[in-house]
Amino acid sequence: MLKKFLRWFLGISVGLFILVISLIGPLDDSPLEGKKFYQQTFQRLDSLRPTLHPPKSKLKVGWSKVNIVPQSPMPMAGYAPRNHFDSVHDSVYVRIMTIDNGGVQCIIVSADLLIFPPALKDKIVRQNKGNRFLYFTATHVHSSLGAWDDSVFGNLILGSYNEPWLDSLARQIISAIDFATAHVHPAIVNYFETDASEYVENRIDPEHGKTDGKLRGLKIIREDGSKGLLVSYSAHPTNIDHLSLALSGDYPSALVSRAEKQDYNFAMFASGNIGSHRLKWIPETEFVECDTLGSRLYRKVKAAQSIRVEDSTISTAIIHVDYGASQLHILQKYKVRDWVFRSLFSKLKGDITYMKIGNILFLGMPCDFSGEIFVRDSLGEIAESHDEKLFITSFNGDYVGYITYDDHYGHSEQEEVMAMNWVGPHYGAYFSKIVKKIIARGR
């Protein structure tokens, strides 16, 4: 009897061991420079030649927006699974701004969603027409709609995938893009940036971590007298309780609403260098906190001095970035094996969107890109040395997780480094070097 039990126990133990090693493996901490995917990316960057669109007219700007609140309750995305919203505190939108120099129409599309869904981006790209360059981003609100990711993880965490809703949404967005491109007016485009560091902190290392605390954006004055605003900031919109079933655009919605009530005919928000950044605590909660922060940030935007974009030349590119095997942490030295990751999510895939208007260089990242990398590696200052303003936004319609500052990797237990960094160590330096190369080569 004892021998039979021991054989049974040994068989179960061996089976469990085989199962564990098939699902979990050691983390690869080796340098990236010698890897084929790294070399391919930089070989491609060596020959980078963005498409140049010389101006055929003065800059013209148009805009539109789509209310995306559905007629019936849908799942919410941002925290634990919530299979429906039960109220609408404030409507969520997709907002669109067209910047046209007669040679190309650049379409900035920002969604009040957790990220810009890859499936939605693909549907819009397939329906896009004409000489229109699409630049996607999102406000990264954690109290908006889900049901837009058909992976195993997406269906579990973000709600059951709803393709009919996405199809309808894509058609609405294309119609709104058509409207914005058909109703452009000559405009003065001004770039601004202003410090709002007192409202943001590094949530991986609040005491020593660096932060990008700048508000950046465009102030538009059209010849018809109307005014438009694009504003970006690097703090996570996570002010609404994680169990709340109220639909809301969080503080970006409050900021945009304040702008449209006071001074602007149209305003939109884009997440900036948001990885590892959160809003600093103030003695208010939820929707009151959103309104207070929206008001305070808008006062900074309103007071910010701006510089006119004199050059109407536009250049564009989609820059392909290669990746190694995924490295989703289990413990500090172990990861989920790549085949498991791909079964739960999908293969790592994410390009960088390049759009340069005059001397304003927009880079749309396929991730939560960390402001700590931006500051520690002086990316803004490097762009300034090339007479450019660097304007990074996150969530460009691809998604490869968090790109965080490498010194935290292997040390921090924060979710940005453990659960949400899907690429592994050394990718902060990898992306930083890519940005530097783009600045140097993309002139």
Q: What is the pLDDT of residues 125-153, one digit of tens each?
A: 999 988 899 999 999 999 999 999 999 99
Mean pLDDT estimate for the chain: 93
- pLDDT of 17 over the 50 cut: no
Q: Confirm whether 424 is domain-assigned.
A: no
Q: What percent of the chain has pLDDT over 70?
A: 95
- pLDDT of 421 over the 60 cut: yes
pLDDT of residue 265: 98
Residue type, 98: T
Q: Confirm whether 88 is domain-assigned.
A: yes
Q: Work out the pLDDT band at 6, boundaries 50, 70, 90.
A: very low
Q: Confirm whether 17 is domain-assigned.
A: no
Q: Work out the pLDDT band at 413, boundaries 50, 70, 90.
A: confident
- pLDDT of 442 over the 90 cut: no
Q: What is the pLDDT of residues 334-363, one digit of tens each?
A: 999 999 999 999 999 999 999 999 999 999
Residue 275 contacts residue 370 (beta carbons within 8 Å): yes
CA distance 103 to 101: 5
Q: Confirm whether 169 is domain-assigned.
A: yes
* Mean per-residue pLDDT, 166-177: 97
pLDDT of residue 443: 54
Q: Confirm whether 106 is domain-assigned.
A: yes
- pLDDT of 276 over the 60 cut: yes
Chain center to CA of 98: 19
Q: What is the pLDDT of residues 187-242, one digit of tens each?
A: 999 999 999 999 999 999 998 999 999 999 999 999 999 999 999 999 999 999 99
| Residue 298, domain extent | 52-308
CA distance 380 to 392: 10
* Mean per-residue pLDDT, 254-280: 96
- pLDDT of 16 over the 80 cut: no
Q: Confirm whether 9 is domain-assigned.
A: no
Q: Confirm whether 351 is domain-assigned.
A: no
Q: What is the pLDDT of residues 323-335, one digit of tens each?
A: 999 999 888 899 9
* Mean per-residue pLDDT, 305-325: 97
Q: Work out the pLDDT band at 7, boundaries 50, 70, 90.
A: low
Domain count, the chain: 1
Q: Work out the pLDDT band at 282, boundaries 50, 70, 90.
A: confident
Radius of gyration of the chain (CA): 22
Could you identify the residue written with the tokens 């894509």?
170
Q: What is the pLDDT of residues 48-63, one digit of tens each?
A: 999 999 999 999 999 9
Q: Confirm whether 335 is domain-assigned.
A: no
- pLDDT of 185 over the 60 cut: yes
